[in-house]
Amino acid sequence: MEVPQVATLWAGGPARCLGATVRAKKIAIVSVKVYSVALYVEAEKAARELGLRSRGGFFAGGGDGDFCAALIDGAFHKALRIDLVRDVEGATFYEALEAAMGERVRLVGEGASLTAFSSFFGGRRLAKGTAIMMMWRPDGRVEVATCEDGAGRGAAAFAAPDAPALAVDAPGLGRALFETYLGDSSVVPAGRAVWAAGARALLESEEVKRDTR
């Protein structure tokens, strides 16, 4: 599914898409696509931080894991955009997230944030074409916005200052959420290589920019 390569979200500077992948689920013996997931980062700040880490030798091993770790740890706005390719009950969507990250969130004492997520998604029916943007801000706040009319494919769909429909101050939830997708046990393993490649491209652009100043 195509998503905007550059977007202006409701917070942070211009965001760049580092790539997208598909989340599939096994039904009987058939693998069925459930949604696509794309990663956006605040481009200028992310590029600068990747450059600092590179010059410090952080990427010496060259592995995808190092780049994904840098994206998780980076002090810049980042967002996961999910586009549903079939109808999904909100409770089912939340339960899948909770199964992947709930234990980690409770271990850091942020169980109340899971309750907020459950309340937000639980009473919704997420139709095919719904876009969900989940942002993790540098101050630790997690914000969620949805676009349910198919306009979510547009770059301006999540630009309004009042876009987030849910906001929770929960840095542990933010980390667990992004580790669910970018971490070693990612629910979309193919995405790690995609996003690491996007980070490498962003780093290369920063290095070219730095060398030509």
- CA dist 47 and 204 (Å) reads 9
The pLDDT of 55-80, averaged and rounded, is 95
Average of per-residue pLDDT values in the chain: 89
Higher-confidence residue of 212 and 87: namely 87
Place of tokens 């977007």: 7
Closest alpha carbon to 72 in 199, 179, 172, 170: 179
The pLDDT of 158-180, averaged and rounded, is 91
- CA dist 13 and 79 (Å) reads 12
Question: pLDDT by residue (tens digit) across 204-213?
Answer: 987 666 655 5
Domain chopping of the chain, boundaries: 6-211
Higher-confidence residue of 36 and 29: namely 36
Question: pLDDT by residue (tens digit) across 93-146?
Answer: 999 999 999 999 999 999 999 999 999 999 889 999 899 999 999 999 999 999
Closest alpha carbon to 53 in 153, 156, 202, 182: 202
Higher-confidence residue of 186 and 32: namely 186
**pTM for the complete prediction?**
0.91
Q: Which CATH architecture has domain 6-211?
A: 3-Layer(bba) Sandwich (3.50)
